Structure 1
C-alpha cells in the first residue's frame, strides 16, 4: 500500500482510539455518578449536532484543497481541545469537548476517506477497505482498553492519555503533495444538487447502512447500564463486552481481507444481517456476562464482513472529483445515524426498559435480512460510468 495512505491510516485510527476511549470512559463515569441512561445518551447525541454543523461546508472544501491539510489542522485542534480536560472537568465541559472533538474526528474521517481513491488504485480498493476494517477494529480495541481500564484503575490519568494520542496524530498527519497530482480533476465545479443525484442513486444502500449502524448504537448506549444496573457487575465486564466486539471486528477484518471480493454477495450479507437480529435477542435474555461477551465477539466478526463489501461498493462508483462532498453526505447516513439513534434509544428505554428495546431491535434485524438481499443485488449492477453520466 502507498506510504502516505498508511501514514494517514495510522493517524485516522489513533484519532478513533482517543474518540472511542473518551466515549467509553465518560459514559461509565456519568452512569456511575448520575445513574441516568438519558444523560449517557446525550454524549453521542451532541456528537451528531457538531458533525451536522460541519459536514456540508467541509465536503465542499475537501473537493477544492488538499485533504491531508484538513487532517493536519483537525489533529492540532483536537490536541488543544483535549488539553482542556487536563486543567479541569465538569459535566458541561465534558459535553462541550464531546461535541467539538467528535466534530473534528468525523471531519478528519471525511478527509481521509475522500483521499483513498487518490492514494490507491481501483484494484487495491477492496484491500484498502480491509485495511480500514482492521484499523477500525484495532483502534476500537485500544480505545476500549484505554477508556474501560482508565475508568477502573486510573481515572485521573485519562485526560493525559488523550493529549498524548492526539499529539501523535499531529505528527502522523502532516500534509502531503499527493493531492496536487489530481488537481486537474477538480477544475470543474459541481454543486450539491449534482452530488444529491449521486446520493439518490445510492440511497437504498445508504439506508441499509444507516439502519445497520444505527441498530448497533443500542449496544453502545445500553451496555454501561446493562452491566451496572441489570447484571450488577464491575467496569471490567463492561470493558470486556466492548473489547470482545472489537476483537471480533479485528478478526473479521483480517479474514475479510483475504476474501474481500467474495464478500460482495447478496446472500451472504442478507444472512449475516438476520444473524445480527438473533444476537440482539440473545443479549436481551442472557444474564451471564461472559456469554454476553462471546456473542459480542461473534457480532464483531460479522460487522466487519458486512462493512467491507458495503464500503467497497460505494467507493467504487463515486468519481474522484466529487468524492469530498459525496463522502460527507454518506457519513451523515452511516455515522451520523449513531448519535441520533442514541438519544432515541435513551428516551425509549425510559418508557419500556432496556431489555424490551433490545428484543424489538433484534426482531427488526431478523426481518431486515430480506430487503438486504435485493438492495445488494441491485447495487452490484451500478458502475462509475453510470454516475459520471448522471452528473454531466
Structure 2
C-alpha cells in the first residue's frame, strides 16, 4: 500500500448507522419539547410573581432531581434496557404538561402547580438524559464518539435553544395552554421514534447485586479516577454559575421595567444567539479538539463560560450580549463534547450509567443550588452584582487546569 493510500484510509470515517440517526431524530424532538417547555414555565411564572426568589425557585424545582435522584437513575440505566427507559421517560414528560393544561383550564393554575410539574418533569429528564448518554457507546464505535456526540449536541441545541425558545415565547403569547400542549405532543412523538430502534440495550451484569451496591460501585470508580473527578467538579461549578445566572435572566431581560426591556418573544429570540453559537460549536468541536488538543480547548472553554455568565454585569445591550452569548454557547459545547466523549471512552459499559450519574451528581446536582443562590444574591445585591460574582467564580477554575494536562488526559484515555 502506498503512503498516499494509507493516509486516505486513515481519513475514511465509518458511518454512524441507522440506529444512531433514529436516536438523533428522537433526541431532536425531545429537546424541542424541552426548549418550548422551559421557556413557557418562567413566562407563565412572571405573570404570577415578580419575586426573584420565587422565580428562581422554579429552576430549583426543575433541577433538584439532579441532586436527589441522579444516582438512582444511573443504577437503573445499568440494570434495565436504556432505550426502554428513555421511552418511558418521554411518555411521563408528555403526560405532565397535559395535566398542567387541565389545571389551567379548570382555573387551578398556580405557582405551586408549576413547581410540582417542573419537579416531576425534572425526575423524568434525569432518567432520560442518563440513559441517553449511556446508550451511545452501544450504538456507535468508540472511535466515532466525538463525532456522534457533536452531531447530537448540534440537533439538541438547535431544537432546545434555537427553535424551542422563540417557539415557546410565541406559543405563550398566543395562549398559555398552547405553550404546554405542544411540548407534550412532541415528547409523545419522540417516544414513538425510539421504538423504531431495534435491539437490546441492557448492559451485561455478571452478578446479582443490590441497588445500594451498584450506586456505591459507580461512586468509587469516579472517586478513584482523578481526571473524571476533576472534570465533574469543574462542570459542577460551571452549572452552578450558569444556573444562578439563568434562573433570574428573565427578570433582567423581559418587560419594560427590565434593564434589557425585551418582550417575551424577543427574549426567546435573544436566547437563540447562544443556540446558534452552540450549533457552530457542535460542528467544529471535533476539529478544534484535534487542532488545539483537549487541554487547551478546555482552558479556552473556561474563558467562554466566564464571559457567558458574567457579561450582563457590565452591559444590558442585547447587541453586545448577543455576540457574547454566541461565543459562550460555542465554547460550552466544545467543553461538553470533549468531556462527555472522554467519559464514555474511559468508563466500562457495565458501569457507564452509574458513573454518568455519579458524575452528574457533582456536575448537575449544583444546578438547584446555583439557581437558589442566584435568586438570593439578586434579591440582596442586585442582578448585575450576581452576574459579576458568577463570572469571577468561573474564572477561578483555571486553578484546576494543571491537573488536566494533555499528557494526563491522553494517559487516562489509553489506559481505558
TM over 0.5: yes
Match of 2:6 in 1: none
Conserved 8 A contact 2:303-2:395: yes
* Alignment check: 8 A CA contact 1:55 1:329 kept: yes
Q: Which residue of 2 aligns with 1:102?
A: 122
Is the 2:49–2:55 contact (alpha carbons within 8 Å) kept by the matching residues of 1?
no
CA distance in 2, matches of 1:137, 1:370: 29
Please tell me whether the aligned partners of residues 241 and 393 of structure 2 are also in contact (alpha carbons under 8 angstroms): no
Corresponding position of 2:215: 192
Q: Aligned equivalents of 1:151 and 1:32: distance in 2? A: 11
5 Å-filtered alignment, 1:317-328, equals: 317-328=346-357
Query: What corresponds to 2:156 in structure 1?
Result: 136
- Listed as ranges, the gaps of 5+ residues in structure 1 are 387-392
> Are residues 241 and 7 of structure 1, via their aligned partners in 2, closer, same or farther at CA, if it must alter by over 3 Å?
same
TM-score (norm 2): 0.85
2:203 is the alignment partner of 1:173: no
Counterpart-to-counterpart distance in 1, 2:283 and 2:35: 21
Deviations 1:288-327 (A, max 9, x none): 2222222111111111122111112211100001111111
Q: Give me the whole-angstrom Cα distance separating, in 2, the residues matched to 1:245 and 1:324.
A: 29
State the alpha-carbon separation in 2 of the partners of residues 95 and 302 from structure 1.
Answer: 31
Paired residues for 1:142-157 under 5 Å: 142-157=163-178
Query: Does structure 1 retain, via aligned residues, the 8 Å contact 2:27–2:152?
Result: no
Count of aligned positions:
384
1:117 paired with 2:146, answer: no
The C-alpha deviation readout for 1:96-136, integer Å capped at 9, x for no partner, is 11111121122111111111111111111111121222122
Q: CA deviation at 1:160?
A: 1.9
Residue 69 (structure 1) aligns with: 84
Instruction: Between 210-219 and 370-379, report the one with greater CA deviation.
Output: 370-379
Any residues of structure 2 matched to 1:202-221 within 5 Å, and which?
202-221=228-247
CA contact (8 A) 1:263 1:309 kept: no
Cα deviation for residue 370 of structure 1 reads: 3.8
Structure 2 vs 1, CA of residues 2 and 106 (structure 1 numbering), >3 Å: closer, same or farther?
A: farther
Q: What residue number does 1:381 align with?
A: 411
- TM-superposed CA distance for 1:204, in Å, is 0.9
Tell me what 1:33 maps to. Answer: 48
Q: In 1, are the aligned partners of 2:149 and 2:341 still within 8 Å (CA)?
A: yes
Q: Is the 8 A contact 2:70 2:357 kept in 1?
A: yes
Q: What displacement does 1:373 show?
A: 4.8
Change (3 A) 1:251 1:4: same
Alignment partners' CA distance in 1, 2:67 and 2:312: 32
8 Å contact 2:22–2:196 — kept in the other structure? Answer: no
Aligned to 1:35, what secondary structure does the other structure show? coil
Say if 1:316 and 1:384, in contact at 8 Å, map to a contact too: no
In angstroms, what is the RMSD of aligned CA positions? 2.3
Q: Does the 8 Å contact 2:245/2:374 carry over to 1?
A: no
Pick the structure with more helix per residue.
Answer: 1
Equivalent pair of 1:14/1:139 in contact (CA under 8 Å): yes
Once the two structures are TM-superposed, the CA of residue 177 in structure 1 deviates from its matched residue by 4.6
Give the Cα separation in 1 of the matches to 2:405 and 2:271.
29
Answering whether residue 315 of structure 2 is matched by residue 292 of structure 1, we say no
Structure 2, gaps ≥5 residues long? 1-15
Asked if 1:249 is matched to 2:281, the reply is no
TM-score (norm 1): 0.90
Q: Is the 8 A contact 1:263 1:305 kept in 2?
A: no
* Cα offsets for 1:327-376 (capped at 9, x unmatched): 12222223332222111111121111110111122223333234235335
Whole-angstrom CA distance in 1 between matches of 2:195 and 2:308: 42
CA distance in 2, matches of 1:291, 1:122: 40
Q: CA 1:175/1:196 → structure 2, altered by over 3 Å: closer, same or farther?
A: farther
Q: Residue deviations 1:36-94, cap 9 Å, x none?
A: 11111112211233344433333222212211111111222222222112222212222
Residue in 1 that maps onto 2:183: 162
8 Å Cα contact 1:272-1:306 kept in structure 2: yes
Work out whether 1:49 is the aligned partner of 2:68.
no
1:168-188 per-residue CA deviation (whole Å, 9 max, x = no partner) reads: 1121122755336x76x3224
Distance (whole Å) between structure 2 residues aligned to residue 54 and residue 287 of structure 1: 37
Please say if residues 157 and 279 of structure 2, whose CA atoms lie closer than 8 Å, have aligned partners that are also in contact. Answer: yes
Specify the alignment match of 1:389 in structure 2.
none
Select which of 355, 375, 381 maps to 2:384: 355
Q: How far does the alpha carbon of each residue in 1:230-271 deviate from its partner, in whole angstroms, 9 at most, with x for none?
A: 233322332222111111101111122444444542123213
Displacement, 1:207?
A: 0.5
1:390 counterpart residue number? none
3-state SS of the aligned residue for 1:382?
helix
